[in-house]
Amino acid sequence: MSTTEKLLTCIEHFKSIPEHSIVELDNFRERGGLVVGVYCIYAPSELIRATGAVPVGLCGKRHDPIQAAENDLPSSLCPLIKSSYGYAITDKCPFFSLSDVLAAESTCDGKKKMYELMGRLKPLHVMQLPHTQKGEAVHRYWVDSLHDLEAFLVTHGAQPIKSKELQRQIKLHNQMRTKLASVMHLAADERSPLRGSDLLAVQESKGFVVDIEGYLDQLDNLEQELRAYLAQPNLKPQSGPRLMLTGVPVGKGSEKVIRIAEELGARVVCMENCTGVKGLELLADEEATPYEALAERYLRIPCSCMSPNSGRKKSLGELGKEFGVHGVIDLTWLGCHTYNTEAYSVQKWVEEALGVPSLHLETDYSDSDVEQLRTRIEAYLELIDL
Amino acid sequence: MSTTEKLLTCIEHFKSIPEHSIVELDNFRERGGLVVGVYCIYAPSELIRATGAVPVGLCGKRHDPIQAAENDLPSSLCPLIKSSYGYAITDKCPFFSLSDVLAAESTCDGKKKMYELMGRLKPLHVMQLPHTQKGEAVHRYWVDSLHDLEAFLVTHGAQPIKSKELQRQIKLHNQMRTKLASVMHLAADERSPLRGSDLLAVQESKGFVVDIEGYLDQLDNLEQELRAYLAQPNLKPQSGPRLMLTGVPVGKGSEKVIRIAEELGARVVCMENCTGVKGLELLADEEATPYEALAERYLRIPCSCMSPNSGRKKSLGELGKEFGVHGVIDLTWLGCHTYNTEAYSVQKWVEEALGVPSLHLETDYSDSDVEQLRTRIEAYLELIDL
């Protein structure tokens, strides 16, 4: 195989991780393992794994189940919430079916209230996330909430956490995030052949990991293939403006903005969102008491559900520079009040920190506005001075 | 004056309380007093008064300032948030102008993020309200948040709280709520001539009180006038179905649903919302440590921002029976995800607890859908079996 073929084969492997995961989760459950469905990067994967359970990402990214969800939920909720709930009630998501329990979180109004209805389907625990990040009371409250999650999991058959195992998981997750960040930087190289859909697949794969050590090997492999590819002489730089996508989470099935931007000749090289690289550079302190370190790490996530969310300004500035972006698209799912309201500040932050133009888009998972989006993105790309 | 004239004069007085309040607040400030603008019934009035400051209600109820707000805020936020912010930036609300500082709260996503922008205009403190009501950690977190509010007020010139004064304020507020509840029950008597707009004026008046002891006397007076009116022989019962309004807060300027229902022959006798009787029956424990008692009392408020919000089911059932209602209108402001999502459960709760039909309406402060609302409410009223 050529270097290019090897790299693309490796990417194909990452695209197939969710599918393979179904079999692995099934086997894990047959061996008595507890599968914990999670909806958000606030779900502390280290903690869940330290109880011997396995977390699996359930956050809804496709349009299909939304109609069913709207029987119970207001249509004005964001598509992510409706899709997540729709998958649950129609039982069309294999990962929801495979989840023994659900670890939810109070990130936003819509999710919080949706979980009340979802809790009728499976045992569901809502982690009590504070509205803000700073202060001793806030930290303690979140530490308590992490302990409550452990207690919930133990009630459902998981093992009480041993400090050493939690420490080991913290190290493994730090390695995973560092490795993923490294891969994302290589993938964004101006000579890299990877597209937004490839980055999405790699980023999303981390939500479907049963064997985390095996996954680290796969990331190593991908990193090596990327390095080998980029070591080739005389590779031409990819043309087109380099874009950062910020705002709401995006996944396979809800990537229309990335697709359109790339069809129009841009490259989405960095996704500053919770399905992307946001949070990958936030590592838990391996020397601190594990519970404290975890709480501290997760509370630093610069999500718009936090007020104030000054970490996002920092994150946009740093990632924008690291990835050398020429523009920023700020995406809001219709109905997401926190990202939508924050868009007002993001425009200023991007201008101040990066001096590049930004475009705020509000849309949903449907294809009804694809041509409208294309027109707006096209006009926006013309503004970018390369 | 006849008994009827005396009662109506008394109601007119309550309608003029906000206007008189402007002069009183002005005088209070001239004497060096601190005026604290508040947006929500989670703002602990007892605590604010115990620092020597005076709270004043700022929650936006009119459509006028919304357009200005939409320059900075997404149009998809609820009208209450946009109206509140619009009043602030256009400086058209005398009470906002008179407020030295603002005591805000993290009740919902839209407010929480709007306050980030509003905080540029005046010193603003966000009370950290938890997402749920039960448990020691939740209680402690809210107690801490109340202490933080005191610290904020003291920084801005208020007096540190003396336990005795807080206890005295708790008693006064318990009296005020008990008295208001009593007035509301009398006003809802089947022979009472008062309409929804009268109830609104009395309920809203509590947000504009400078001298709470004087206000208690005014409530006493109103109660006496109501009793005198109802003591008249041969009064005829008012006709038409007796309705409970539940859901979002309503005030002068955003009362179109009440007006339409009454124009169609119904009587809105009970408002189970935070501008109405909800919370009036929740008293703080006068024997407990005052801070603990306050925290406990405020956390019990059955707001849809709480998850779960089982207190609302109880509240709907109890008030529905006490007020002898024939139907329930559940009102959601467009964009309010928590009340909108809870509407699904409310319909069942009303059916189970009261066995009367309910109608869920989603609207905003504009008059654009008045005829549509009239048609829906008319059809709904025909369902009610008297």
What tens digit of pLDDT does each residue of B100-150 get? 999 999 999 999 999 999 999 999 999 999 999 999 999 999 999 999 999
CB pairs under 8 A between A and B: 125
The rounded percent of chain B whose pLDDT value lies above 70 is 100
B245 shares its domain with B381: yes
Cis peptide before A308 (omega within 30 of 0): yes
Tell me what the mean pLDDT of segment A361-380 comes to.
98
**Does the residue A100 lie in any domain?**
yes
Quote the pLDDT of residue A132. Answer: 98
B266 shares its domain with B383: yes
Tell me what the mean pLDDT of segment A15-38 comes to.
97
Tell me what the mean pLDDT of segment A362-381 comes to.
98
Angle at A262 between CA A259 and CA A264, to 5 degrees: 110
Q: Which residues of A touch B130 (CB under 8 A)?
A: 128, 130, 141
Backbone angles phi, psi at A221, to 5 degrees: -60, -45
Nearest neighbour of B109 by CB, restricted to A108, A148, A308: A108
Searching chain B, which residue's CA lies closest to the CA of residue A69? B341
Q: Do A113 and B335 touch (CB under 8 A)?
A: no
Q: Do A113 and B144 touch (CB under 8 A)?
A: no
**Does the residue A345 lie in any domain?**
no
pLDDT tens by residue, A307-334: 999 999 999 999 999 999 999 999 999 9
Contact status of A209 with chain B (Cβ, < 8 Å): no
- Residue B334's CATH number: 3.40.50.11900
Contact status of B112 with chain A (Cβ, < 8 Å): yes
B155 shares its domain with B246: no
pLDDT tens by residue, A179-226: 999 999 999 999 999 999 999 999 999 999 999 999 999 999 999 999
**Does the residue B5 lie in any domain?**
no
Q: What single DSSP character describes residue A207?
A: G
Q: What distance in Å separates the CA atoms of residue A104 and residue A335, rounded to the nearest whole number? A: 19
Window A:51-80, CB contacts with B under 8 Å: 72-74, 76-77
**Does the residue B203 lie in any domain?**
no
Q: Which residues of B touch A69 (CB under 8 A)?
A: none
pLDDT tens by residue, B15-32: 999 999 999 999 999 999
Q: Do B341 and A73 touch (CB under 8 A)?
A: yes
Q: Do B109 and A342 touch (CB under 8 A)?
A: no
Q: Do B74 and A337 touch (CB under 8 A)?
A: yes
Q: Is A283 left (phi over 0), alpha (psi -120 to 50) or beta?
A: beta
Contact status of A127 with chain B (Cβ, < 8 Å): no
Burial of residue A5 (CB within 10 Å: 0-12, 13-18, 19+) is: exposed
Q: What distance in Å separates the CA atoms of residue B58 and residue B249, rounded to the nearest whole number? A: 13
Quote the pLDDT of residue A385. Answer: 79
B177 has pLDDT over 90: yes
Nearest neighbour of B76 by CB, restricted to A116, A145, A340: A340
Quote the pLDDT of residue B8. Answer: 96
Q: Do B117 and A344 touch (CB under 8 A)?
A: yes
Contact status of A349 with chain B (Cβ, < 8 Å): no
Searching chain A, which residue's CA lies closest to the CA of residue B305? A109
Closest-CA distance, A155 to chain B, in angstroms, reads 18
Q: Is B102 helix (H, G, I), strand (E, B) or coil?
A: strand
For residue B97, CA distances in Å to A261, B20, B31 come to 46, 15, 17
Q: Which residues of B touch A138 (CB under 8 A)?
A: 128
* Cβ proximity of A380 and A359 under 8 Å: yes
Amino acid at residue number A119: G
- Residue A79's CATH number: 3.40.50.11890
Q: What number is the ipTM of this complex? A: 0.96
Q: Do B128 and A138 touch (CB under 8 A)?
A: yes
Q: What distance in Å separates the CA atoms of residue B261 and residue B163, rounded to the nearest whole number? A: 46
Quote the pLDDT of residue B385. Answer: 79
User: What are the structure tokens assigned to A269, written together?
Assistant: 């090289």
Q: Do B337 and A305 touch (CB under 8 A)?
A: no
Closest-CA distance, B16 to chain A, in angstroms, reads 36
Q: Which residues of A touch B146 (CB under 8 A)?
A: none
Quote the pLDDT of residue B137. Answer: 97
A165 has pLDDT over 90: yes
Contact status of A113 with chain B (Cβ, < 8 Å): yes
Backbone angles phi, psi at B269, to 5 degrees: -100, -15
**Does the residue A150 lie in any domain?**
yes
Nearest neighbour of B106 by CB, restricted to A112, A131, A340: A131
* Cβ proximity of B29 and B52 under 8 Å: no
B124 shares its domain with B262: no
For residue A341, CA distances in Å to A303, A345, B116 come to 13, 8, 10
Quote the pLDDT of residue A80. Answer: 98
Q: Do B138 and A128 touch (CB under 8 A)?
A: yes
Closest CA to A130 of B253, B106, B368, B21: B106
Q: What distance in Å separates the CA atoms of residue B248 and residue B273, rounded to the nearest whole number? A: 6
Closest-CA distance, B198 to chain A, in angstroms, reads 32
Contact status of B89 with chain A (Cβ, < 8 Å): no
Domain count, chain B: 2
**Does the residue A124 lie in any domain?**
yes
Q: Which residues of A touch B305 (CB under 8 A)?
A: 109
Quote the pLDDT of residue B188. Answer: 97
Closest CA to B269 of B178, B202, B187: B187
Q: What single DSSP character describes residue B133?
A: -
Q: Do B77 and A337 touch (CB under 8 A)?
A: yes
Q: What distance in Å separates the CA atoms of residue A277 and residue A273, rounded to the nearest whole number? A: 7
Range of the domain at A55: 32-159
Tell me what the mean pLDDT of segment A159-171 comes to.
98
**Does the residue B166 lie in any domain?**
no
A386 has pLDDT over 90: no
B251 shares its domain with B372: yes
* Strands, sheet with A267-272, edge to edge from the N-terminal-most edge strand: A267-272, A242-247, A327-333, A358-363
Nearest neighbour of A337 by CB, restricted to B110, B132, B305: B110
Q: What distance in Å separates the CA atoms of residue A210 and residue A103, rounded to the nearest whole number? A: 17
Tell me what the mean pLDDT of segment B54-75 comes to.
97
pLDDT tens by residue, A214-262: 999 999 999 999 999 999 999 999 999 999 999 999 999 999 999 999 9
Nearest neighbour of A110 by CB, restricted to B112, B137, B337: B337
Contact status of A138 with chain B (Cβ, < 8 Å): yes
Closest-CA distance, B232 to chain A, in angstroms, reads 48
Backbone angles phi, psi at B141, to 5 degrees: -60, -40
pLDDT tens by residue, A76-121: 999 999 999 999 999 999 999 999 999 999 999 999 999 999 999 9
Read off the pLDDT band of B386 (50, 70, 90).
confident
Nearest neighbour of A109 by CB, restricted to B109, B130, B145: B109
Half-sphere exposure of B105 (CA within 13 A, CB side): 21
Contact status of B86 with chain A (Cβ, < 8 Å): no
Q: Do A128 and B137 touch (CB under 8 A)?
A: yes
Q: What distance in Å separates the CA atoms of residue B290 and residue B292, rounded to the nearest whole number? A: 5
**Does the residue A279 lie in any domain?**
no
